[in-house]
């Protein structure tokens, strides 16, 4: 679920960047007292700047996502290792309990049944 929220936040951010860029460009066109050539050049520079900022933002988001994935992977590996260690401990305890139960049962049988040499 956290990834869905993060994706939505990144998408909303990009939408905001694009809308802000378009509004800024429209205002610049309406307010600029310059020739068409100068306006086109300015729009070209603005579009390149906007594209560069969008690429930078996308790269930052990708890096954060990769860091989050790496962190989740480390946590999962640690959880798996802890579970393996607990399972080994439980198996060791169960094995010891089973061996003790076998010894107790053997001792009980030996006491209950006299050996053939004693009769």
Phi, psi of 114 (to 5 degrees): -70, 150
Q: How far apart are CA 41 and CA 35, in angstroms?
A: 10
> What count of other Cβ atoms lies within 10 Å of the Cβ of residue 61?
17
For the full predicted model, state whether its pTM sits above 0.85: no
CA distances from 20 to 28, 29, 50 (A): 12, 14, 10
DSSP annotation of 35 reads -
Q: How far apart are CA 98 and CA 11, in angstroms?
A: 59
pLDDT in tens, the chain (119 residues): 445 567 777 777 877 887 787 788 777 767 767 677 777 787 788 888 888 888 888 888 899 999 999 999 999 999 999 999 999 999 999 999 999 999 999 999 888 877 655 54
């Amino acid at each position: 679920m956290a990834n869905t929220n993060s994706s939505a936040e990144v998408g909303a951010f990009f939408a905001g960047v694009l809308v802000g860029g378009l509004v800024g460009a429209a205002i610049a066109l309406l307010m600029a007292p310059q020739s068409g050539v100068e306006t086109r050049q300015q729009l070209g520079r603005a579009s390149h700047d906007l594209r560069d900022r969008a690429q930078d933002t996308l790269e930052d988001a990708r890096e954060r996502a990769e860091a989050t994935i790496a962190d989740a992977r480390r946590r999962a590996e640690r959880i798996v290792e802890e579970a393996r260690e607990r399972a080994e401990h439980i198996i060791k305890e169960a094995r010891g309990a089973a061996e003790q139960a076998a010894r107790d049962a053997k001792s009980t049988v030996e006491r209950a049944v006299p050996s053939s040499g004693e009769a």
